[in-house]
């Protein structure tokens, strides 16, 4: 579910070993999915009546579809995940399910290092809907015996991913926060995220949460400075938080309002994952 860039990376690793199916509501994507060795299934998570064929079909499920946007749903609910789980319960449930959530569920942690045991404090409707989806997935796992893994994902990057590096933002000269106001952000290379999904599908513990993050500990401005050096572009201008709202998009400002460093110890110990790109300096 949600077979976009990361889903296709998962599929490319698996396609010679298992039968792959992907839900899609876009007829124009059918040919592209078939080209990747994936059997397309017509259906729409916003239309529960189209999901009946999913029941009993798969032994392992990867759910990467985002919740509806602010304009499509009640601010704290994810009806798409609820509809999917209801469909999966109608017949024999799968052996494992992996849900791709967001590290935004932690809210602002004031730069502290964050493990999976920390209580969630979502500050935006977007993050609140992810919390709702996480709870639904874990309840589904407990009720059905399905081994369910929740991946809390930070910023996804990759040079071969659309919008996957700061290059265009640097070319536009988009400002970042001044050092005294700057926030910590976490990252994961798209290929390492795909490998994390696979590790969780086969090795994840029941109803377990994993921070799907690399080892990087950089503030956002330092990340952009590093990227500027890699691409031979000027470093972005620095602005104080007091004037940032006049110069930056609201979405970017929302990310600049939260600071945290994700602890990925559980990812490495339990899923036994060795990152191909341990830091953004490696991956960019």
**What is the tens place of the pLDDT at every residue in 151-190?**
999 999 999 999 999 999 999 999 999 999 999 999 999 9
For residue 257, give the nearest of 181, 205, 199 by alpha carbon.
181
Name residue, tokens 């990376």.
9
Residue 73's pLDDT band (cuts 50, 70, 90):
low
**What is the tens place of the pLDDT at every residue in 23-38?**
999 999 999 999 999 9
Model-level pTM?
0.95
């Amino acid at each position: 579910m949600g077979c976009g860039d990361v889903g296709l990376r998962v599929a490319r690793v698996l396609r010679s070993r298992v039968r792959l199916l992907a839900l899609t509501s876009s007829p124009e994507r059918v040919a592209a999915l078939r080209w990747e060795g994936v059997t397309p299934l017509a259906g729409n998570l916003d239309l529960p009546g189209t999901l009946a064929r999913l029941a009993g079909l798969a032994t392992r499920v990867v759910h990467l579809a985002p919740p509806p946007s602010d304009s499509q749903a009640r601010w704290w609910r994810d009806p798409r995940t609820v509809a999917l789980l209801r469909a999966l319960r109608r017949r024999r449930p799968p052996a494992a399910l992996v849900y791709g959530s967001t590290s935004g569920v932690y809210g602002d942690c004031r730069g502290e290092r964050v493990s999976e045991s920390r209580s969630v404090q979502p500050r935006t409707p977007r993050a609140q809907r992810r919390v709702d989806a996480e709870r639904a997935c874990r309840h589904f796992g407990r009720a059905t015996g399905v081994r369910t893994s929740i991946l809390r994902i930070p910023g996804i990057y990759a040079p071969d991913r659309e919008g996957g590096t700061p290059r265009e933002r640097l070319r536009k000269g988009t400002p970042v926060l001044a050092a005294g106001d700057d926030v910590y952000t976490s990252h994961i290379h798209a290929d390492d995220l795909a490998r994390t999904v696979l590790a969780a599908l086969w090795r994840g513990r029941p109803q377990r949460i994993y921070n799907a993050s690399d080892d990087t500990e950089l503030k956002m401005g330092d990340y952009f400075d590093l990227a500027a050096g890699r691409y031979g572009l000027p470093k972005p201008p620095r602005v104080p938080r007091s004037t940032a709202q006049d110069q930056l998009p609201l979405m970017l400002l929302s990310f600049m309002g939260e600071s945290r460093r994700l602890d990925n110890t559980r990812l490495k110990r339990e899923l036994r994952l060795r990152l191909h790109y341990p830091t953004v300096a490696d991956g960019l």
